[in-house]
Amino acid sequence: MMAQPSDAPVFPPFSVISPQFIAPYPLELIVDKYPCRNIVITDINHKIIFKVKPHNKRLHRQRVLLDPNDKPIAMLRDKKLTMHSRWNVYRGESKADSDMIFSTKNKHMIQFKTNVSVMLANKASSNDDCDLRIKGSWSKGNCTIYMGDSSTTIAQMHKPETSKYGKDKFTVTIQPNIDYACVVALLEIVDAMENPDEKKDSSGAVEAVVNVIGTVLTS
C-alpha cells in the first residue's frame, strides 16, 4: 500500500473511523467505479482495501463501506429534508446516534461547486467549526480534503491518464497518519451528492411513489 515518498509534512495520528486505518507513510489508493454504483478501492498492487455498495431505502439513500471480506465498516446515510444536504456516517450497519462517527453538510444552502464541511460526532452540533473540508468534483477527479478550514491538504484525488486507467478510475494520495477509511467515505459521499440514486434509478422512484400513494389511499 505504500506510495512514493512525499515531502509533505507528517501529521500526528488522525483517527476517525479506526486507528487500524492509519499508516505512517503516504498511501496511493485506486478508486474503481463499476455499474450499479458499486465501487472497489485497491492499493497500487491491486489488493482490495475497501468496497462500497449502495444500500437504498425508500426514505433514505445509503451506502455501505465494506472491508475486502464484505464486513461492514461504516454506513453512509443521507439525512433527508435538510437545507445543507447533510450525510451522517455510523459504525458498522448501525443507525443509532450513539454510533455516529461524523456528519457532513454543504457549507452553503445554494452552491455550484462542492464545498462540504465535516464535523466529528462530538462536534456535530456546531454550526461554525469543521474538522475537515472537501472541495472539488468527483466527476472531474479533482476532490481535495483539507484539515478544517485551513489550506493544509490531507488527501487529493487525481484523474490519471486514460491509457493507464479507465474513465471511471481515479487515484487518491493520502498523507501519512491520516485515517484512509475516513477519506474513502468522504469521497463516496461526494459521489453520492453528485450522482443521486433517485435520478439514476427510475424504477426505484416509481416504486417509492406507488408506496406513498398506497399509504395515502389506505389511511
Q: How far is CA 25 from CA 1, 10, 72, in A?
A: 9, 9, 25
Question: How many beta carbons lie within 10 A of that of residue 83, not counting itself?
Answer: 10
- What's the rounded Cα separation, in Å, for the pair 146 and 194? 19
Q: Classify domain 19-218 at the CATH class level.
A: mainly beta
Secondary element (H or E) of residue 171:
strand 169-174
Q: How far is CA 37 from CA 127, 155, 172, 200, in A?
A: 32, 22, 18, 10
> Which phi and psi (to 5°) does residue 207 adopt?
-60, -40
- Which residue, 60, 64, 83, 98, is CA-closest to 198? 60
Per-residue pLDDT of the chain (219 residues; tens, 9 = 90+): 545 444 556 789 999 999 999 999 999 999 998 877 789 999 999 999 999 998 866 656 889 999 999 999 999 998 765 555 789 999 998 989 999 999 998 875 555 577 899 999 875 455 567 899 999 888 788 899 999 999 999 999 987 655 455 557 899 999 999 999 999 999 999 988 887 664 444 444 444 443 443 434 444
| pTM of structure | 0.80
